[in-house]
Amino acid sequence: MKIVINHEKCTLCGKCIEACPMNLIKKVGNKMKVQNSRCIKCRMCITVCKNNAIRLN
């Protein structure tokens, strides 16, 4: 299982960056990137994303 970002739905609002307790989400260029190897699957990023751009796959 890993966190996947739908780049077409993502508006780069940055809410998921603030929400991640592990600081695993970063904006790289014009895309959000997740460092999945350290993800604890807390789902906070999914909860705060108003655009349904994040899912656990």
Site residues (vs ligand SF4, CB under 6 A) = 3, 5, 10-16, 19-20, 22, 24-25, 32, 34, 39-45, 48-49, 51, 53-54
**Shortest spacing between CB 31 and ligand SF4, in angstroms:** 9
Q: How many whole angstroms separate alpha carbon 16 and alpha carbon 47?
A: 9
Q: Are 25 and 34 in contact (CB under 8 A)?
A: yes
Which one, 10 or 57, has the nearer CB to ligand SF4? 10
In the bound state with ligand SF4, the residue whose beta carbon lies nearer, of 29 and 49, is 49
Decide: 56 and 44 in contact? Cβ < 8 Å: no
Q: Which amino acid is at 49?
A: C
